[in-house]
Structure 1
């Protein structure tokens, strides 16, 4: 899989983890962890039980100290210039807490009073961003879990952070709530240009929403991989092709340079081949020229779950 991108331009970097470690009682909980997040990127932080995800987030937000290394947010050090660095971060770690007997609007007003340069117009902006316009005058105790999560995100966005950190943002939500949350996170990244770091055990969700995934195990970086990117022309792809004459199609493909026929299943009228992405048009042309009817071409891609199990040796995520 693709390793950490080196194409980021420094002025687009929102966060840099630079060799960050946390040692407790002689044990490395996080071990020289390095990765970066660029403007408007949605990053998934993944790892099995005990991988160090929560510790990493707590160090990012200054809730616990680092043993070595540093976290740089918008050019400011969490270690040496905490107030300036933390001003660029909004976070929900575990469940957002509110005054249940107050309305959503009054809860946001309370937070506004503790924040600098946040006016009524900004409250309206974030409420619209997370789709809570109709619920602002309701007491929070009447909110569903999904509404509470969105109110928490609105609160975290009030001071216009450059980075939003979410720990299990879809935990406990039903499928409709998960989809809703996914849509709002995309809007936040695209409309406000805010970067988002999501720690989650829901791999299918991470695969759908994130641009990249950072995978850690035993406190160490395993890989940083791109998600949902189109293959490079020189990258090898595996295709399953459904045709009307399997044997004839197999003969044509066996004569083609750069095409490796893996399986020819006459019962299912399917062929499985590997080739460079750039060779796909030639393959289709050769089959068509040979009078082969093509019904379907499917790219065989490993899911993030399959990749995760491979990277971590089958360790369960949590």
Structure 2
């Protein structure tokens, strides 16, 4: 297995998905070898350009022939540690390849670090920073290519920006904020990969999220030797904790359908002219803020509440 002059090689997401779908892993290795020859001969030694590589708009940006009718933009650059890096862009058709000479190809890259205001919060577990994420693609190497070829379900690691790396390096509880699909689950899973010598557990709310997280983790670690990690929902975790000491069964679980049919809830809905879902969410919100140690007791939260549940539960106090 030969060493490339590039310390890091990245693939943009659409390119990776195409390669993953078409199983064209060997083709990337061939492309990297051609780009390396181009860099060492044409750029470092001043020899003539390759007949399959052309410079395009943008600093250190070029295109290489991917097929007779397709071109692939790439960029050679040094990172903050002065390491030589190569990033391969998304495949362009013939017309798009011509436009690369007219306007600069934009490689996907974004990072944002948001500082939290902790002055007015009771939650001592908040981190002073929150991170919003986006990716520039996947990390490629010859070793990873072999892992993909040997394991159909394997996937390449994603590229993390500086804010994301900072999140991974922090210890203790972290508050992570992001919109749906922004990668919170994916980036959280990367924290599980930091150490393979300690036991870990991944807890989430729904079975769907549990299976999704498990699938991502397995795809990134297939073929690697790591301690097994348990993926579990909050409900499954709680049931496992009380198992043997309480005769609680799934049929006793309080669902919204059961909750809204309770006589005193129906009465409260009529009396206060509100939807049962508002009461349901309000109670759940209060419960989330309460704990046995170091937090405001449940009934104090109930009494401090300005909406409806203090009135509803007053007869049970």
TM-score (norm 2): 0.22
Please report the TM-score for the alignment, with normalisation by the length of structure 1.
0.22
The structure with the largest strand share of the pair is: 1
Looking at secondary structure, tell me which structure has more helix per residue.
Answer: 2
Higher relative CO (Cα under 8 Å, sequence separation at least 6) belongs to 1
Greater C-alpha radius of gyration: 2
